[in-house]
Amino acid sequence: MAFALCLRAMPLINTVLQYFEPIAHALLLSGLAFFVLVEGRSPRISAPPDKWPRLQIHVGLYVLGAVTMALVFEPLNTQAMVWGAALGWSGIAGADWPTWAKIIAGVLAMDLLQYLLHVLSHYVPWWWRLHKIHHSDTFMDASTSIRHHPLETLVNAFVLVLLMAALQIPIYAIALYALLQQFHALFCHSNLNLPLGVDKYLRWIVVTPDMHAVHHSVRMDEGNSNFGMVFPWWDHIFRSYCAAPRVGRLGMRFGITELAATRQMHVLDLLGFPFWRVRPAVAKAPVVAVKPKRSKRRH
Ligand SMILES: [Zn+2]
């Protein structure tokens, strides 16, 4: 039954794959507009006064990320496919399984890879420098999901495509997961006032906004938990799950300590942030090198 449905859906899948980039961008921006509307009607926490400037900053970063990917990613993607093929095994795509099983295996493999990449982006110092742009948001709503440094978008995509090629994940599973993850990222960052009873059960199936909020805590012992992208199971399996922030969802603070005392940063600030040498919260007073005074007396 499921196999027959998959076969019948193939022309649709081929069309989606052919126009994947514009479809993905259109769905993301429509989804963002939808969540902005719904969050406005039923927010979990009152939105800050800079809600609209934040949205513009996040859309700006998204556009820069999309342009970077369009310019640089295609040759890297092609090369990764060549390396993947050179491994000489057929992976999930070539397994003697029904199509529906390959889709499930491919989607689960993608989510596990995303979980592992997310953990690495917290613990590998140079990777964290890029990823902390996402964590530097002092509020969390659906637009936070597109607050990424373009270099992080590129690095993650490149590493992911190498791993996908190594596992030979079927292209239709990759496309399905990409659309699912994109929509889910908007949901799990959203400021929706989801009833606690719904959250309690839903977080066994997908990562919910309350579960992901812990990951954006300014306390890094809480921030280094709940790395899951779409499914929460990896956090349970690898013991990185944290049910709630210590001070509760409504009392917690978002962001990173480096920026706790500073203003909202704009696109150019955020692009340069990974390369700053000094911690900006500490560097409020300009650091001036003190040169030893020269004696006016000449010897
Ligand atoms: Zn993170």
- What pLDDT digit, counting tens, does each position of 73-86 carry? 777 777 777 777 77
In this prediction, residue 260 carries a pLDDT of: 56
What is the token pair recorded at 162?
């190498």
**C-alpha 83: how far from its chain's center?**
26
- Greater confidence (216 vs 89) lies with 216
- Please state, rounded to an integer, the average pLDDT across all residues of the chain: 84
Packing angle between helix 20-41 and helix 51-68, nearest 10 degrees?
170
* pLDDT at 237 (0 to 100): 97
Mean pLDDT of 111-115: 97
Q: Give the C-alpha separation, 221 to 217, whole Å.
A: 9
Ligand 1 centre distance from Cα of residue 120 (Å): 9
Contacts of 267 (CB under 8 A, 6+ apart): 57, 60, 61, 64
Compute the distance from residue 228 Cα to the ligand 1 centre, in Å. Answer: 9
More confident residue, 290 or 102: 102
Residue 64's pLDDT is 94
Give this prediction's pTM.
0.83
Residue 133 Cα to ligand 1 middle (Å): 10
Can you give the pLDDT at residue 81?
Answer: 72
Ligand 1 center to 216 CA (angstroms):
7
Domain positions in the chain = 61-275
- The reported pLDDT for the residue numbered 262 is 53
Ligand 1 centre distance from Cα of residue 135 (Å): 6
Q: Which tens digit of pLDDT belongs to each residue from 228-270? A: 999 999 999 999 999 999 998 888 999 888 765 556 678 888 8
Query: What's the gap in Å between 21 CA and the centre of ligand 1?
Result: 25
87 Cα to the center of ligand 1, angstroms: 31
Cα 278 to averaged position of ligand 1 atoms, centre (Å): 21
pLDDT for position 19: 76
Between the CA of 131 and the centroid of ligand 1 the distance, in Å, is: 7
Residues near 144 by Cβ (< 8 Å), separated by ≥ 6?
A: 58, 134, 137, 189, 216
Mean pLDDT of 34-61: 91
List of long-range contacts for 191-197, beta carbons under 8 Å, 24+ apart: 191/39, 191/43, 191/44, 191/45, 191/47, 191/139, 191/140, 191/141, 191/142, 192/35, 192/38, 192/39, 192/42, 192/43, 192/44, 193/42, 193/43, 193/44, 194/44
pLDDT on residue 171: 87
